[in-house]
Amino acid sequence: MTSRLFECPLACGLSWGKAKSFQETPRAYGQPYTRRIEILGGNKTLALNSSGGLVSEAMAIVAIMDEANVSTIVPPNSICGSACAQVVFMAGRHRVVLDGGKLGMHSCTTSTGERSTLCNDRVALNAVAHGTDYGSVMAFTEYAAPNEIISFNSTDADCWGLTRWPPGFNRGIKQGDIAPCVLQSIRGGAVPAK
């Protein structure tokens, strides 16, 4: 099976109907990342660059991704925030943040602007279903207010256990390991410097 790298249709955000357009109109991504396809183990690869949007649309995209065995990548000079990071990125079979890329996480919000614990739990359970520790996601969705973003560069994302690099790369953690930043935080020590 040949791997293809798709341009993320999320650049405009996750609004109503994005999942349908994602399913129907994948487009080849630009030249600089075509060699990155190999690193993700022959899976289809989705390059992400979105500030986020509706969790419901992100979950619909994840359902499509799960059928197609998709890996996720945040390229340099790109950001994947909110529902993009907490739902779509976390659903990748392999998920990597390349140097220069960033993830952004925060709490879900209700229509009145309040924290939505139910939505945060749904987001964390999606991450668990895709191999990320519940606490690695829930901690940040509960810690950051809906109007705040906690930003992770590639090193931070690896340290907190948010990435899953393909075999053969000496980055991130292996499934089942405790993320170094989580372990350091539990032990009461300083979290490794950025």
Give 19-61 as a DSSP string.
HHHHHH---BPPGGGGGGGGGGTTSEEEE--B--B-HHHHHHH
- Band (pLDDT 50/70/90 cuts) for residue 20 is very low
96: left (phi over 0), alpha (psi -120 to 50) or beta: beta
Do the domain assignments include residue 194? no
**How many domains are there within the chain?**
1
% of residues, the chain, pLDDT over 90: 27
- Residue-wise pLDDT for 56-114, tens only, equals 888 988 988 888 888 898 999 999 999 999 999 999 988 999 999 999 999 998 888 89
Domain limits at 153? 5-186
For the chain, give the mean pLDDT.
76
Do the domain assignments include residue 192? no
Do the domain assignments include residue 90? yes
Do the domain assignments include residue 136? yes
- Residue-wise pLDDT for 1-10, tens only, equals 333 333 344 4
| The pLDDT value given to residue 191 | 57
Over its C-alpha atoms, the chain yields an Rg (Å, rounded) of 16
Which residue, chain included where needed, has tokens 């993830």?
A: 103
| The pLDDT value given to residue 16 | 39
Do the domain assignments include residue 44? yes
What's the full length of the chain, in residues? 194
Q: What is the CATH number of the domain that holds 29?
A: 3.90.226.10
Average pLDDT rounded to a whole number, residues 25-37? 37
Do the domain assignments include residue 99? yes
% of residues, the chain, pLDDT over 70: 75
- Residue-wise pLDDT for 54-63, tens only, equals 888 889 889 8
Examine the pLDDT at 188 and tell me if it is beyond 90.
Answer: no
Examine the pLDDT at 119 and tell me if it is beyond 60.
Answer: yes
Do the domain assignments include residue 191? no
Do the domain assignments include residue 142? yes
- Band (pLDDT 50/70/90 cuts) for residue 28 is very low
| The pLDDT value given to residue 76 | 92
